[in-house]
Amino acid sequence: MEPYHDLFEQLFGIAGQAGNVGGRLIDGGNPFEAPRQRDFPQPPLEILESGRIFKAAAQSLGYKPFPLPAANSPRAYTNPDGASLAPCQYCGHCERFFCEANAKASPAVLLYPLLRKQRNFEIRLHSQVTGLVYDKHARRVTAVQFIDLQTAQMYEQPADVVVLSGFTMTNTKLLLTSGIGRPYDPKTGEGVVGKNFCYQVMSSVPVFFKDRFINPFMASGASQMVVDEFNGDNFDHAGLGFFGGGYIYSNVTNGRPINARLHPAGTPRWGSAWKQANADWYAHAFNVAVHGSNYPHSRNYLDLDPTYRDAYGSPLLRMTFNFHENDHRMSEYVTNKAAGIARAMGATTVGAAQPRRGDFDARQYQTTHTTGGTVMGADPSTSVVSPHLQHWDAQNLFVVGASVYAHNAGYNPTGPLAALALRLGDDLVRYARQPRML
């Protein structure tokens, strides 16, 4: 997979510091990363004041911090396809918005303008796919059904090869509503479509510096310093009672005053004292955060709701999910490590560590990086698609996206997702030349 990871980084101008080139460890990069063939195509983003504080504290504890690889472009960049990015302006409106400076790598900026020039490519806007036409006897998908949202006309698009490349939830729902594959049954543990649904386990420790100017408005969507000592299998789990882990980082990604406000414990929730706390601490605080893994559980899954339907008459997708003992134990351990880094910073005030406790609460936003539901594997009895993302029950159907992940690692799933998609491009060429199970 490494060549496809490298190609993704070149196409999207990823900024970062390599930690392992050809087996040679590089100072300043991630010492735990697998060998890569060359460095990132762009140098890492500027280290923010929060990152400087985090870096010094982490190094004082013997950790090896490094800048988080980012799709924010630190300088003007032209990718191998000739598409260009401009330098990041480090504004406070980044991670949830398109970039007015054209400094954020995304398909909308780097991919679709190129594809629209191709005569054999067509994108149909204002359309909603509602299902796949499946020939169960022939084990093939013969067409895709969609609605033109402007005319309400239903269309059926015949196809020799179909790639399902929606969001995690969308991929799973379309397979379930189209009757492709066996739905997962949590009572028996049998079936495959909808199982292994995973979330992420997030936590944080707030820090406040009376005499250090943090200025969260000078940030980018991925301008963090990171330590990886407690992520995945990078540490000894013997006797800890849990699997997985997470990376710890200085969490400054935006400076929107309404969204990014930290207050010390005891601050009133309204009134003049609350307003004064906003003025005092807006530019003097940040979170030391944990981005934690989430492993599959037999009682976490996706299925079709038996009662509720969407605007097109299809059953809604139902998410059954909760955090379990492994999540709580992992979060407690790694968040305590984050608290140790926070205490080493010399902050005026270190807030209480906030590991994940209790049940999942859908009312509070936590993350959208969900995975699973159409997992890949070598055994058709336990997976939806093959290692080449080919559906076991429909030879001409391929599924790509975070829905094919068997679990959710500490990092967001973007990098491996892009690498799998690029590899699928080569596999589709092979399949078109000679249709078969790859």
Q: Which residues are catalytic?
A: 369
Residue found by looking up tokens 């980044």 in the block: 94
Contacts of 351 by beta carbon, 8 Å cutoff, 6+ apart: 205, 206, 207, 208, 262, 264, 265
- Residue 296: count other Cβ atoms within 10 Å of its Cβ: 18
User: What would the two tokens of residue 300 be?
Assistant: 């976490």
User: What would the two tokens of residue 329 be?
Assistant: 């134990």
- Per-position DSSP letters for 77-115, written without gaps between them: EE-TTS-EEPPP---S--TTS--TTS-B--HHHHTHHHH
Selection from 438, 393, 436 nearest residue 136 by Cα: 393
Give the CA distances from residue 414 to residues 12, 57, 123, 421, in Å, rounded to whole numbers and listed in that order.
Answer: 12, 29, 23, 11
Instruction: Say which DSSP state 302 is in.
Output: E
Burial of 324 (0-12, 13-18, 19+ CB in 10 A): middle
Q: Do 288 and 204 touch, CB atoms closer than 8 A? A: yes
